[in-house]
Chains A and B, each alone.
Chain A
Amino acid sequence: MTVISALQNVHVKGSFGNFENKSENELLKIKELKNLLIVQVVQYRNSSIKIDDINFNKLKFVNQSQTVVSNENVRVLWNSPNNWLLISNKKELLKEIYSTFNENDFAITDLSHSKATIELEGPYVKEVLKKGCPFNFNILTKNMSINSAYNGISFIVDMVENEPEKVRIFSLRSFGESLYHSITDASLEFGYKCN
């Protein structure tokens, strides 16, 4: 099933801002990620299952803040205590999620249609994030994620790569366009290219 784009009214392809006389590598790249499987997994308070015993797609869940465990299929973001966000390009993983996590111990919610996802890549990613969010992004490295607010909009940052810096940011779908405007406004001074 194809997810309808959350940003189709605002995301325009092209180069913008201070992009002239700059090579491709010097520009920030902004794109919308579509068709991601986004599933929230929450362990119930009265569940007696040890999360270390769970093995999902050869991944062990970690109940530690800012931690992401990942393989080529899925990224598991720590959201809050006993609460994780699973991100994948493979829709068929939903079945495996339901079979791995017992419904008596876990609440599973498919949020694929409820989120707007923007991917930023390039040399100024952290500078753009710093403009709207008070978190110290200098400590953010590969396979870390945080929940915070960007210009008042709650969002999740998932650091996918260090070199070049690449992050995915997730917000509620209804705030997606506002967040997109905030991000692109902050990117103007560096020059950015939308794919």
Chain B
Amino acid sequence: MLYIFCPHCGSRSQNEFAYGGDATVKRPELNKEISDQEWNNFVYLRKSPRGKHLELWHHISGCRQWIKVERDTSTHEIFKTYKADELTK
């Protein structure tokens, strides 16, 4: 079982959380003209890296806040967690 450090609640078990996908994907800016290909890439195209990955998790059975988690996809080691609005880069 993974333990994830929620920036709001502290260390909690993984089963309080729901995985929310890649946290590095950015939505195209509003009112900007984009091609179907760009929109397709935003909606469907995801990297599947081996190693460090920035992910969104939802603390659904806890404080119900979205957080960002920097996790190694091969070892499951969690390096750091951030509030959803925190800049990570």
List A residues at the B interface (Cβ < 8 Å).
Answer: 65-66, 79-81, 83, 134-135, 146-149, 152, 154
Contact = CB atoms under 8 A, between A and B. Distances in A.
A65 B63 contact: yes
A152 B60 contact: no
A66 B62 CA distance: 11
- Contact residues of B: prevailing secondary structure: loop
11 contacts: A65-B8, A65-B9, A65-B63, A66-B9, A80-B8, A80-B62, A134-B13, A146-B9, A148-B16, A148-B62, A152-B15
B49 interface: no
A152 B15 CA distance: 8
Interface string B60-76: 11111100000000000
Nearest to B13: A134
- Contact residues of A: prevailing secondary structure: strand
Contacts of B16: 134, 148-149
A169 to B, nearest CB: 13
A134 B1 contact: yes
Contacts of B64: 80, 147
A80 B8 CA distance: 7
Contacts of A149: 15-16, 61
A158 to B, nearest CB: 15
Q: Lowest 10 CB-CB distances: which A-B pairs, in order?
A: A80-B63, A134-B13, A149-B61, A154-B61, A147-B62, A65-B9, A80-B64, A149-B16, A81-B8, A148-B16
B15 A80 contact: no
Contacts of B80: none
A134 B15 CA distance: 9
A67 to B, nearest CB: 11
Contacts of B13: 134-135, 148
Contacts of A135: 12-13
A81 to B, nearest CB: 6
Given A80-B63, A134-B12, 5 more contacts: A65-B9, A81-B63, A148-B12, A149-B16, A149-B61
